[in-house]
Copies of this chain bind each other. A is one copy, B any other.
Amino acid sequence: MTDAPVLQRCAEFIANLTYEAIPEDVRREAQNALGDFVAVTMPGAVMPVSEDILRYVKTRPSEDPCVLFGEDATADAVSACLFNGTASHSLDFDDTAPSSMGHPTVSIAPAVFAAAAERQKDGQALITAYVAGLEVMHQISRLCMPEVSQAGWHTTLAFGAFGAAAAASSLYEASVDECAWALGISATTAGGVRANFGTKTKALHAGLSAANGIQNAKLAACGITANPAAFEASDGFMQCFSRLDAFKEDEIRLGTFWDLREKGLNFKSYPCCSGSHPAIEALTIYREEHGLKAEDIESIHCGVSLLSPRELTCHRPQNAVEGKFSMEYALSSLLIYGHVGLDSFTDEKVRNPAIQDFMGKISMAIDDELAALGFIGYAPVKMTIKMRDGSEVKLRRMRAKGRPELPLTLEEHQAKFFDCMRYAGCEAHAQSWWDILSNLKDASASDVARIGRAKARKCY
């Protein structure tokens, strides 16, 4: 580790990063993330929490060109980040990542789209800004995780503004000093207590981190100074948020170690807590191969690892939000309704007596063998299905598709994109936006400016 403060090193990386310097596979993962962001934000824009934010944003009208996704309207950059960030996180269908153990793209991408709209930037600038934001956010995360999460913070808001500020600074072509100040101010605006999970404020955390990040980049551009050592200095971010007195990693390797390649992102195939995804997949595959029917099942037991019971806390969910954090509901939805999709998560579908009844057949407990893997971020499962005829089926799955070890194919990304656009009532735009987003390096500024600009409605 050199003597230069962490945020100073990050600032130099942001200010000097060019599209050409980014490896091809890293560019491709950035493109995947931006496409996935657009997909999940469109149906998210009509969720109740997004409608609340829209009412707030509309109290501050502006002539600015930053698109409010799913609203066919524009706003100032801070308002657009607040709305788009909240909307993109409202379905819990957005990406997650091992380095921050949180949701990186819902903080970074809103700032990328808003700053690009302000400065009329093209697809290559978008990719470069996203990479700057993600790599900085995750470099910072790796220095003090998992301690920040263990202390009680929602890492999306604890780290997110660093990423959003970095991305916006890249598009604003900020100087090294301005980048460092924007990150130093982000140390001051970091927050997010996990005690607000289960309320609308959880989705708001993504909106706040994006809005704070772009605001901090703007404040730095206006001359507001901050301490480039605000990460590791006494009474700085690391002390306040992680209680660590030494970095978890001993090197800042921005530009040589690419987090998007080495650690990667997890893209979701199901719009609910990722702790249930391996179980959903294992059961989906078996069901398709063997024609499993709900009425033939006596019981299902899921052996899980240590993290799952901390995330999947709702065993008898009564509404859509609780249903997203329930292994019992996910598997019941698959077996009764035939799939786990956006339309599975309505209050009515969760309260269906057949579902409520079937959930009683499902149990979950920590499995000794899986617990021995430690406090891991993925969710391996060992399932035992007892049939009414006395037979027994055993299934096992370590990881869900969408994780870096088992990435979604281009076709799967595309299918998710078109599915989300359909549920948002925006099929008419799906092909043209997909063409832009799946070949982003050739997108012009006016191509970029069209993305998200359509009126969404809830089509399920």
Q: For the complex formed, measure the closest distance between the CB of A376 and the CB atoms of chain B, giving whole angstroms.
A: 20
Cα distance A204–B181 when bound, in Å?
A: 13
Q: Which of A164-223 contact B (CB under 8 A)?
A: 181, 184-185, 187-201, 204-205, 208, 218-219, 222-223
Cα distance A198–B233 when bound, in Å?
A: 13
| Contact, CB under 8 Å: A235 / B193 | yes
Question: Which of A53, A188, A197 is the most central at the interface, judged by chain B CB atoms within 10 Å of its CB?
Answer: A188
Q: Contact check: which of B48, B60, B204 meets A185 at CB < 8 Å?
A: B204
| Contact, CB under 8 Å: A240 / B153 | yes
Q: Which of A84-137 contact B (CB under 8 A)?
A: none
Q: For the complex formed, measure the closest distance between the CB of A114 and the CB atoms of chain B, giving whole angstroms.
A: 13
Q: Which of A11-65 contact B (CB under 8 A)?
A: 48-49, 51-53, 55-56, 59-62
Q: For the complex formed, measure the closest distance between the CB of A337 and the CB atoms of chain B, giving whole angstroms.
A: 28
| Contact, CB under 8 Å: B188 / A240 | no
Cα distance A204–B78 when bound, in Å?
A: 17
Contacts of A200 in B (CB 8 A): 223-226
Q: Contact check: which of B56, B188, B222 meets A157 at CB < 8 Å?
A: B188
Question: Which of A62, A157, A225 is the most central at the interface, judged by chain B CB atoms within 10 Å of its CB?
Answer: A225
**Per-position binary interface string of chain A over residues 134-153, scored 1 when its CB falls under 8 Å from any chain B CB and 0 otherwise:** 00000000000000000111
Contacts of A227 in B (CB 8 A): 195-199, 201
Q: With A198-B227, A227-B198 given, is the CB distance from A56 to B193 under 8 Å? A: no
| Contact, CB under 8 Å: B189 / A191 | yes
A419 at the interface (CB under 8 A from B): no
Q: For the complex formed, measure the closest distance between the CB of A90 and the CB atoms of chain B, giving whole angstroms.
A: 12
Q: For the complex formed, measure the closest distance between the CB of A290 and the CB atoms of chain B, giving whole angstroms.
A: 42
| Contact, CB under 8 Å: A204 / B224 | yes
Q: With A152-B236, A198-B227, A227-B198 given, is the CB distance from A208 to B222 under 8 Å? A: no
A424 at the interface (CB under 8 A from B): no
Cα distance A208–B76 when bound, in Å?
A: 19
Contacts of A194 in B (CB 8 A): 235
| Contact, CB under 8 Å: B195 / A230 | yes
Q: For the complex formed, measure the closest distance between the CB of A216 and the CB atoms of chain B, giving whole angstroms.
A: 10
A319 at the interface (CB under 8 A from B): no
Contacts of A236 in B (CB 8 A): 152, 193, 195
Q: For the complex formed, measure the closest distance between the CB of A8 and the CB atoms of chain B, giving whole angstroms.
A: 13
| Contact, CB under 8 Å: A222 / B189 | no
| Contact, CB under 8 Å: B185 / A218 | no
Contacts of A51 in B (CB 8 A): 223
Q: Can you report 13 A-B residue pairs in the complex whose CB atoms are below 8 A from each other?
A: A55-B222, A56-B218, A59-B76, A151-B239, A152-B234, A152-B236, A152-B240, A153-B235, A188-B205, A193-B237, A200-B223, A200-B225, A201-B225
Could you tell me which A residues sit within 8 Å of B by CB distance? Answer: 48-49, 51-53, 55-56, 59-62, 76, 78, 151-154, 157, 181, 184-185, 187-201, 204-205, 208, 218-219, 222-227, 229-230, 233-237, 239-240, 243
Q: Closest 9 interchain pairs by CB?
A: A195-B236, A152-B235, A194-B235, A52-B223, A195-B233, A201-B226, A191-B191, A195-B230, A199-B225
